[in-house]
Structure 1
Amino acid sequence: MRTPHAVTAAGVFAAGCLARSTTLTPEALVHDVRAGELQSTLWNLNRIANENGGNRAYGTPGYLASVDFVLERAQIRFGRKFDTYLQEFNHTYDELLKISVTGPDGEGLPVVVSPIYNPPTPTEGITAPLLNTPVDKAYGSMCWEDQWDGVNATGKLVLIRRGGCDVHTKLTHAKKNRALGVILYNNVGPKISKPTLFAEKIDDALPVGIIPRNIGMEWASRLDAGEDMQVTLVVDTILETRPSWNVISQTTQGDPDKVIMIGAHLDSVPEGPGINDDGTGTTALLEIMEAVEHYEGYPHSIRFAWWGSEEGGLVGSTFYTSELTPEEADKIKYYFNYDMIGSPNPMFGVMSDNNSGIGAQLLEDYLTDAGKEVTYRQFDNRSDYAGFVALGIPSTGLFTGEGEHDPCYHQACDTIDNVDLDALTLNTKAAAHALGTLASSLEGVPKRANVTPNLRRRRKTATNFQLWKTLAEEAGRGHSCAHGKMKLTV
Structure 2
Amino acid sequence: MKAGTALVMGLLALGAHASETLTPEKAVADIKTQELQRNLWNFNKIARENGGNRAFGLPGYDASADYILERAEKRFATTVNVHKQYFNHTFTLVRDISVTGPEGEKVDVIALIYNPATPGDDGITAPLIDTPVDDARGSMCFEDQWAGIDATNKLALVKRGTCAIADKLKLAAAHGAAGVILYHNAPGAIPGATLGAANIGLLPPVGTISLAVGEAWSARLAAGEELVVRLYVDAVYESRETYNIIAETKEGDPNNVIILGAHLDSVQAGAGINDDGSGSSALLEILGSFKKYKGFKNKVRFIWWGAEESGLIGSLYYTRTLSEEERDKIRFYFNYDMIGSINPKFDVYQGDNAGDAYGADLLEEYLLEHGFPAQRAPFGSGSDYVGFIQIGVPSSGLHTGTTPYDPCYHLACDNIDNISWEALTINTKAAARAAAIFANDLSGVPPRTKTTPAKRSVQAIRREFERWATIAEESDHAQSCAHGKQEVV
Q: What's the secondary structure of 1:405's corresponding residue?
A: coil
What is the CA–CA distance in structure 2 between the aligned matches of 1:377 and 1:149, rounded to whole Å? 37
What is the CA–CA distance in structure 2 between the aligned matches of 1:468 and 1:26, rounded to whole Å? 35
Would you say 1:363 and 2:363 are equivalent positions? Answer: yes
Instruction: Please state how far the C-alpha of 1:106 moved relative to its aligned partner.
Output: 2.6
Counterpart code for 1:362: L
Query: Which residue does the alignment assign to 1:348?
Result: 346
> What whole-Å deviation, never above 9, does each CA across 1:177-202 have from its counterpart, x for those lacking one?
22211111122213222111111221
Query: Which residue does the alignment assign to 1:6?
Result: none
Instruction: Please state how far the C-alpha of 1:346 moved relative to its aligned partner.
Output: 2.1
Would you say 1:330 and 2:324 are equivalent positions? Answer: no
What is the CA–CA distance in structure 2 between the aligned matches of 1:47 and 1:113, rounded to whole Å? 24
Task: Quickly say closer, same or farther: Cα 1:64–1:471, change in 2 above 3 A.
Answer: farther
Would you say 1:409 and 2:406 are equivalent positions? Answer: no
Would you say 1:388 and 2:385 are equivalent positions? Answer: no
Query: Which residue does the alignment assign to 1:75?
Result: 73
Query: Which residue does the alignment assign to 1:262?
Result: 260
Q: What's the secondary structure of 2:327's corresponding residue?
A: helix
Partner residue of 1:227 out of 225, 228, 232? 225
What is the CA–CA distance in structure 1 between the aligned matches of 2:340 and 2:266, rounded to whole Å? 15
Query: Which residue does the alignment assign to 1:435?
Result: 435
Q: Which moved more, 1:267-276 or 1:244-253?
A: 267-276
Superposed, 1:272-287 pairs within 5 Å as 272-287=270-285
Instruction: Please state how far the C-alpha of 1:465 moved relative to its aligned partner.
Output: 7.3
Whether the 8 Å CA contact 1:115–1:195 is kept in 2: the answer is: yes
Would you say 1:213 and 2:211 are equivalent positions? Answer: yes
Instruction: Please state how far the C-alpha of 1:468 moved relative to its aligned partner.
Output: 2.4
Partner residue of 1:41 out of 27, 39, 45? 39
Task: Quickly say closer, same or farther: Cα 1:191–1:415, change in 2 above 3 A.
Answer: closer
Whether the 8 Å CA contact 1:91–1:244 is kept in 2: the answer is: yes
> What whole-Å deviation, never above 9, does each CA across 1:357-388 have from its counterpart, x for those lacking one?
11011000000000111132221112111111
Whether the 8 Å CA contact 1:357–1:444 is kept in 2: the answer is: no
Instruction: State, as a whole percentage, how many aligned pairs show the same letter.
Output: 51
Would you say 1:244 and 2:221 are equivalent positions? Answer: no
Q: What's the secondary structure of 1:80's corresponding residue?
A: coil
What is the CA–CA distance in structure 2 between the aligned matches of 1:258 and 1:466, rounded to whole Å? 29
What is the CA–CA distance in structure 2 between the aligned matches of 1:413 and 1:155, rounded to whole Å? 37
Q: What's the secondary structure of 1:346's corresponding residue?
A: coil
Whether the 8 Å CA contact 2:110–2:208 is kept in 1: the answer is: yes
Superposed, 1:140-151 pairs within 5 Å as 140-151=138-149
Whether the 8 Å CA contact 1:145–1:173 is kept in 2: the answer is: yes
Instruction: Please state how far the C-alpha of 1:223 moved relative to its aligned partner.
Output: 2.4
What is the CA–CA distance in structure 2 between the aligned matches of 1:59 and 1:245, rounded to whole Å? 10
What is the CA–CA distance in structure 1 between the aligned matches of 2:419 and 2:63, rounded to whole Å? 21
Counterpart code for 2:256: K
Task: Quickly say closer, same or farther: Cα 1:218–1:464, change in 2 above 3 A.
Answer: farther
The CA RMSD over aligned residues, in Å, is 2.3
> What whole-Å deviation, never above 9, does each CA across 1:310-329 have from its counterpart, x for those lacking one?
12221111111111222222
TM-score between the two structures when normalised by the length of structure 2: 0.87
> What whole-Å deviation, never above 9, does each CA across 1:308-352 have from its counterpart, x for those lacking one?
111222111111111122222221111001111122222222122
Q: What's the secondary structure of 1:372's corresponding residue?
A: coil
Q: Which moved more, 1:345-354 or 1:17-26?
A: 17-26
Query: Which residue does the alignment assign to 2:175?
Result: 177
Whether the 8 Å CA contact 1:185–1:211 is kept in 2: the answer is: yes
Partner residue of 1:114 out of 111, 114, 118? 111
Instruction: Please state how far the C-alpha of 1:96 moved relative to its aligned partner.
Output: 2.2
Instruction: Please state how far the C-alpha of 1:142 moved relative to its aligned partner.
Output: 1.5
Query: Which residue does the alignment assign to 2:102?
Result: 104
Query: Which residue does the alignment assign to 2:465?
Result: 468
Partner residue of 1:306 out of 299, 304, 310? 304
Q: Which moved more, 1:75-84 or 1:41-50?
A: 41-50
Q: What's the secondary structure of 1:79's corresponding residue?
A: coil
Task: Quickly say closer, same or farther: Cα 1:47–1:191, change in 2 above 3 A.
Answer: closer
Would you say 1:55 and 2:86 are equivalent positions? Answer: no
What is the CA–CA distance in structure 2 between the aligned matches of 1:286 and 1:256, rounded to whole Å? 21
What is the CA–CA distance in structure 1 between the aligned matches of 2:446 and 2:219, rounded to whole Å? 53
Task: Quickly say closer, same or farther: Cα 1:465–1:393, change in 2 above 3 A.
Answer: farther
Query: Which residue does the alignment assign to 1:288?
Result: 286
Counterpart code for 1:387: G
Whether the 8 Å CA contact 2:179–2:204 is kept in 1: the answer is: yes
Whether the 8 Å CA contact 1:391–1:465 is kept in 2: the answer is: no
What is the CA–CA distance in structure 2 between the aligned matches of 1:301 and 1:74, rounded to whole Å? 16
Q: Which moved more, 1:117-126 or 1:95-104?
A: 95-104
Would you say 1:124 and 2:122 are equivalent positions? Answer: yes
Counterpart code for 1:320: Y
Which ranges of structure 2 fall in alignment gaps of 5 or more residues? 1-6, 453-459, 470-489
Counterpart code for 2:109: V
Instruction: Please state how far the C-alpha of 1:451 moved relative to its aligned partner.
Output: 4.6
TM-score between the two structures when normalised by the length of structure 1: 0.87
What is the CA–CA distance in structure 1 between the aligned matches of 2:341 and 2:223, rounded to whole Å? 45
What is the CA–CA distance in structure 2 between the aligned matches of 1:181 and 1:175, rounded to whole Å? 8
What is the CA–CA distance in structure 2 between the aligned matches of 1:260 and 1:135, rounded to whole Å? 46
Q: Which moved more, 1:305-314 or 1:341-350?
A: 341-350
Instruction: Please state how far the C-alpha of 1:207 moved relative to its aligned partner.
Output: 0.6
Q: What's the secondary structure of 2:422's corresponding residue?
A: helix
Counterpart code for 2:116: P
What is the CA–CA distance in structure 2 between the aligned matches of 1:183 and 1:470, rounded to whole Å? 26
Counterpart code for 1:271: A
Q: What's the secondary structure of 2:361's corresponding residue?
A: helix
Task: Quickly say closer, same or farther: Cα 1:54–1:161, change in 2 above 3 A.
Answer: closer
Instruction: Please state how far the C-alpha of 1:426 moved relative to its aligned partner.
Output: 1.1
Task: Quickly say closer, same or farther: Cα 1:180–1:91, change in 2 above 3 A.
Answer: same
Counterpart code for 2:359: G
Which ranges of structure 1 fall in alignment gaps of 5 or more residues? 1-10, 453-462, 473-490
What is the CA–CA distance in structure 2 between the aligned matches of 1:17 and 1:53, rounded to whole Å? 39
Q: What's the secondary structure of 1:283's corresponding residue?
A: helix
Whether the 8 Å CA contact 1:319–1:471 is kept in 2: the answer is: no
Instruction: Please state how far the C-alpha of 1:471 moved relative to its aligned partner.
Output: 8.5
Counterpart code for 1:302: V
Q: Which moved more, 1:221-230 or 1:140-149?
A: 221-230
Whether the 8 Å CA contact 2:348–2:364 is kept in 1: the answer is: yes
Instruction: Please state how far the C-alpha of 1:470 moved relative to its aligned partner.
Output: 6.7
What is the CA–CA distance in structure 2 between the aligned matches of 1:186 and 1:340, rounded to whole Å? 22
The aligned length equals: 450
